[in-house]
């Protein structure tokens, strides 16, 4: 009889998103076999019991320099974006290298332990010392065993409205940021907003980087910078490499304009990132009743064929006081706020925190459960993506490049009924 094929690690009985139940054979950090009834042996064999194995969750938009600073030096009383920026500007004065490294690393552990093994973080570069950036450049290397981290050079207080903003942005790229950021709606004037985008696009071309701008994060229906991003993307042939984050003003655009805009977003192959946790709290703050949700048009953009992803944005910072870095929370909110509760829409919500984000991060070649790809995946305590979203199911095993990096004991609730044997309560039908 032929010797059994040897693997480093085997996961048996995982259910893929397609519904197929298979075994995963992993060797040298990659999927070597993805098939039912795999004949093989390994140093460690884990039986997943028919649970969902998904490509890792992705956090495509967060702010790890500000993570875990809620209440420092004070909480956000108005709940607005602008008060958040003002509080952060104060907290920024007190940043130290170790402070940023410690909080960012803790935040990454929170995200990764709940299944997010790829993270894109914005880093505020409106700081003459670039303290946060220098810290996060080190963190990016130190956490490589757990997550792939992308850094966006993010000019929180403006490229043109902050002293030497453009120079600091360029210096951040020279130091090794992966992505160019911008914040046109925060610049002093409309013209400065347009010009700031041109500067960001010039830098993206000069340094051959992706671009991801905070764009139109306001309830002002006159904030129309995403059309400028589409035009610049097309003019420079950067289709697929550019992302507009937040775009909450799109919620308030009239439908005639929104429809015209969609055509240009599609031609530009622009990615859109919605951030439900922050924006459901930050937006609508100047309304009485009815209050706008201020969420970009996730469902309609998807139906139009535009790539949309979902980010968490903040975990306990001046903009959002809650959160644990669980990307399923963000997806769950997107489902509700975006009216994506239809039977076939729920798996599309899973895409928002997996495949669609992989397109944003430009990592589709190395992302997914298939022979030859890096063995990155997460087994959730649920049989399907639909159930995992419904139950906000915990991640039982997170695997990065073929290594189990987090393992969780599922908790059990027992019910004690009169005259009956105790039994566990299971949230499955
Ligand atoms: N900065 C910003 O401009 N917008 C946000 N939502 C956060 C930081 C969290
Ligand atoms: Fe953001």
Q: Give the DSSP H/E element, type plus range, for residue 246.
A: strand 242-246
Q: Are residues 325 and 181 in the same domain?
A: yes
Query: Can you give the pLDDT at residue 429?
Result: 75
Contacts of 428 (CB under 8 A, 6+ apart): 382, 383, 387
The domain tally of the chain equals 2
Among 318, 278, 316, smallest CA distance to 295 is for 278
Cα 391 to Cα 385: distance, rounded to the nearest angstrom: 10
Ligand nearest to the CA of 279: 1
Name the DSSP class of 374: B
CATH of the domain at 25: 2.30.40.10
Q: Is residue 225 part of a domain?
A: yes
Contacts of 222 (CB under 8 A, 6+ apart): 249
Residues spanned by the domain of 293: 57-366
Q: Are residues 49 and 116 in the same domain?
A: no
Handedness of CA 66, 71, 74, 79 (dihedral sign): positive
Instruction: From the CA of 317, give the closest atom in ligand 1.
Output: 9
Q: Is residue 427 part of a domain?
A: no
For residue 298, what are the CA distances in angstroms to 278, 331, 385?
15, 11, 19
Among 149, 147, 151, 195, smallest CA distance to 173 is for 151
Q: Are residues 122 and 177 in the same domain?
A: yes
Among 55, 66, 148, smallest CA distance to 107 is for 66
Q: Is residue 140 part of a domain?
A: yes
Cα 249 to Cα 409: distance, rounded to the nearest angstrom: 42
Q: Is residue 417 part of a domain?
A: no
Q: Are residues 288 and 192 in the same domain?
A: yes
pTM higher than 0.95:
yes
Q: Are residues 309 and 265 in the same domain?
A: yes
Q: Are residues 296 and 346 in the same domain?
A: yes
Q: Taking the mean position of all CA atoms in its chain, how far away is CA 403?
A: 22
Residues 67, 101: contact at Cβ < 8 Å? no
Cα 28 to Cα 378: distance, rounded to the nearest angstrom: 18
For residue 366, what are the CA distances in angstroms to 88, 280, 376?
36, 33, 9
Cα 169 to Cα 155: distance, rounded to the nearest angstrom: 7
Q: Is residue 340 part of a domain?
A: yes
Q: Are residues 223 and 263 in the same domain?
A: yes
Residue recorded with tokens 């010009």: 195
Q: Is residue 110 part of a domain?
A: yes
Name the DSSP class of 370: S
Query: Can you give the pLDDT at residue 375?
Result: 99
Instruction: From the CA of 217, give the closest atom in ligand 1.
Output: 4
Instruction: From the CA of 282, give the closest atom in ligand 1.
Output: 6
Residues 275, 245: contact at Cβ < 8 Å? yes
Q: Is residue 144 part of a domain?
A: yes
Query: Can you give the pLDDT at residue 1?
Result: 58
Instruction: Please list every protein residue whose CB sits less than 6 Å from any atom of ligand 1.
Output: 63, 81, 156, 183, 214, 217, 278, 313-314, 319
Measure 214 CA to ligand 2 centroid, in angstroms. 6
Question: One of 59, 70, 170, 217 is an active-site residue; which one?
Answer: 217
Measure 319 CA to ligand 1 centroid, in angstroms. 7
Q: Are residues 393 and 360 in the same domain?
A: no
Residues 115, 128: contact at Cβ < 8 Å? no
Q: Are residues 349 and 386 in the same domain?
A: no
Q: Give the DSSP H/E element, type plus range, for residue 9.
A: strand 5-15
Measure 151 CA to ligand 2 centroid, in angstroms. 13
Omega before residue 290 within 30° of 0, cis? yes
Domain boundary among 335, 366, 397: 366
For residue 10, what are the CA distances in angstroms to 43, 245, 275?
8, 38, 36
CATH of the domain at 131: 3.20.20.140
Residues 4, 39: contact at Cβ < 8 Å? yes
* Token output for 278: 């922050």
Q: Are residues 40 and 76 in the same domain?
A: no
Query: What string of H, E and C letters represents the secondary structure of 13-52?
Result: EEECCCCCEEEEEEECCEEEEEECCCCEEEEEEEEEEEEE
Q: Are residues 201 and 286 in the same domain?
A: yes
pLDDT per residue, tens digit, the chain (429 aa), is: 568 999 999 999 999 999 999 999 999 999 999 999 999 999 999 999 999 999 999 999 999 999 999 999 999 999 999 999 999 999 999 999 999 999 999 999 999 999 999 999 999 999 999 999 999 999 999 999 999 999 999 999 999 999 999 999 999 999 999 999 999 999 999 999 999 999 999 999 999 999 999 999 999 999 999 999 999 999 999 999 999 999 999 999 999 999 999 999 999 999 999 999 999 999 999 999 999 999 999 999 999 999 999 999 999 999 999 999 999 999 999 999 999 999 999 999 999 999 999 999 999 999 999 999 999 999 999 999 999 999 999 999 999 999 999 999 989 999 999 999 999 999 987
Among 26, 29, 20, 21, smallest CA distance to 7 is for 26
Measure 274 CA to ligand 1 centroid, in angstroms. 12
φ and ψ of 342, to 5 deg = -60, 150
Q: Are residues 102 and 201 in the same domain?
A: yes
Measured torsion, CA atoms of residues 389, 391, 396, 399, in degrees rounded to the nearest 10: 0
Residue with CA at minimum distance from ligand 1 atom 7: 319
Among 223, 296, 215, 307, smallest CA distance to 265 is for 307
Q: Is residue 293 part of a domain?
A: yes
Query: What string of H, E and C letters represents the secondary structure of 63-104?
Result: CCCCCCCCCCCCCCCCCCHHHHHHHHHHHHHCCCHHHHHHHH
- Write down how long the chain is: 429
Active site residue 217: yes
User: Residue 333: helix, strand or coil by DSSP?
Assistant: helix
Ligand nearest to the CA of 88: 1
Among 338, 306, 166, smallest CA distance to 226 is for 306
């Amino acid at each position: 009889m032929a010797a059994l094929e040897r693997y480093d690690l085997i996961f048996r009985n995982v259910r893929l998103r397609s519904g197929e139940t298979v075994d995963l054979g992993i060797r040298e950090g990659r999927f070597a076999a993805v098939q039912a009834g795999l004949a093989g042996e390994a140093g460690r064999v884990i039986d997943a019991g028919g649970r969902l194995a998904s490509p890792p969750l992705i956090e495509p938009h967060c702010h790890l320099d500000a993570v875990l600073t809620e209440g420092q030096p004070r909480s956000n009383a108005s709940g607005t974006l602008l008060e958040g920026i003002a509080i952060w500007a104060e907290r920024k004065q007190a940043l130290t290298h170790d402070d940023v490294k410690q909080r960012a690393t803790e935040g990454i552990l929170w995200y990764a332990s709940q299944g997010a093994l790829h993270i894109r973080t914005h880093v505020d570069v409106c700081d003459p010392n670039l303290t946060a950036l220098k810290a996060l450049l080190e963190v990016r290397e130190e956490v490589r065993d757990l997550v792939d981290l992308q850094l966006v050079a993010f000019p929180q207080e403006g490229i043109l409205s902050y002293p030497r903003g453009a120079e600091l942005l360029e210096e951040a790229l020279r130091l090794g940021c992966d992505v160019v950021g911008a914040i046109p709606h925060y610049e002093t004037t409309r013209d400065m907003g347009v010009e700031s985008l041109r500067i960001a696009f010039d830098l993206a071309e000069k340094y051959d980087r992706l671009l991801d701008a905070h764009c139109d994060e306001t309830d002002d229906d006159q904030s129309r910078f995403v059309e400028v991003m589409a035009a610049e993307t097309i003019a420079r042939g950067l289709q697929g490499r550019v992302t507009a984050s937040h775009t909450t003003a799109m919620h308030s655009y009239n439908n005639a304009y929104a429809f015209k805009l969609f055509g240009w977003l599609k031609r530009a192959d622009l990615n859109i990132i919605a951030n439900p946790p922050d924006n459901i709290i930050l937006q609508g703050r100047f309304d009485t009743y009815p209050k706008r949700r201020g969420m970009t048009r996730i469902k309609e953009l998807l139906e139009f064929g535009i790539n949309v992803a979902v980010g968490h944005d903040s975990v306990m910072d001046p903009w959002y006081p809650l959160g644990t870095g669980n990307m399923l929370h963000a997806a769950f909110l997107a489902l509700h706020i975006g009216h994506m509760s239809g039977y076939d829409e729920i798996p599309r919500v899973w895409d928002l925190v997996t495949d669609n984000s992989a397109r944003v991060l430009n990592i589709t070649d190395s992302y997914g459960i298939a022979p030859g790809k890096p063995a990155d995946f997460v087994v959730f305590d649920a049989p399907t993506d639909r159930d995992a979203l419904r139950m906000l199911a915990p991640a039982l095993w997170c695997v990065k490049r073929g290594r189990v990096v987090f393992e969780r004991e599922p908790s059990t609730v027992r019910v004690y009924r009169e005259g009956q044997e105790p039994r566990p309560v299971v949230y499955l039908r």
